[in-house]
């Protein structure tokens, strides 16, 4: 059970991860959730996020955003970041992750997923063997159904933190 629920790492923010170290470990593709991972839920991408994605591409990474949200939400965000996207990904099902890797020409072994929700983002990535990092949500303001899921995340994250260092990778 823990193997499916536990992330490969847990960080305060997607912006504090050492991406150069990930490059050195052989990762070539980065797949990001959007809402509460890169920005506040339903906010537009701004210069900060665009500069961050340029930095990642300058390292050499291929990037993609993957979201359960609609194309109307995801496409303008991805366009601002100049990155491909998968909308209506149906996470935790595998099809969205696989489609995203196909779009950027990477595979399970050299791609990393970063997201803020255990039961969609992390479980979905773990189900197909995709390395992943859980990040703390940017904002507590979320849709009702997401707040309900967060209640069930609390004990899992507490158990994870009791046995693993924050800001450390398990891979």
* Local confidence pLDDT in tens for the 171 residues of the chain: 567 899 999 999 999 999 999 999 999 999 999 999 999 877 778 889 999 999 999 999 999 999 999 999 999 999 999 999 999 999 999 999 999 999 999 999 999 999 999 999 999 999 999 999 999 998 767 677 777 887 888 888 888 888 887 777 877
For each of the domains in the chain, give its residue range(s) and CATH number, in order of start.
Answer: 2-106+117-163 (3.40.50.1000)
Note whether 63 and 104 are within 8 A (CB): yes
Measured distance CA(13)–CA(116) in Å, rounded: 9
Residues 6+ apart with CB under 8 A from 51: none
pTM tops 0.85, yes or no: yes
């Amino acid at each position: 059970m823990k193997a499916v629920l536990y992330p490969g790492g847990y960080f305060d923010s997607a912006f504090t991860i050492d991406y150069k170290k990930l490059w050195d470990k052989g990762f070539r593709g980065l797949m990001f959730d959007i809402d509460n991972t890169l920005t506040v839920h339903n906010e537009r991408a701004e210069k900060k996020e665009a500069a961050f994605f340029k930095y990642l591409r300058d390292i050499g990474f291929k990037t993609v955003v993957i979201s359960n949200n609609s194309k109307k939400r995801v496409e303008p965000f991805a366009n601002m970041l100049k990155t491909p996207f998968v909308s209506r990904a149906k996470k935790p099902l595998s099809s969205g992750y696989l489609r995203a890797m196909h779009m950027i020409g990477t595979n399970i072994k050299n791609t990393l997923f970063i997201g803020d929700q255990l039961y969609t983002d992390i479980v979905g990535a773990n189900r197909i063997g995709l390395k992943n990092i859980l990040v703390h949500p940017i904002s507590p303001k979320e849709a009702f159904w997401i707040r309900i899921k967060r209640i069930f995340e609390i004990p899992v994250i507490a158990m994870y933190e009791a046995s693993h260092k924050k800001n450390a990778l398990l891979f």
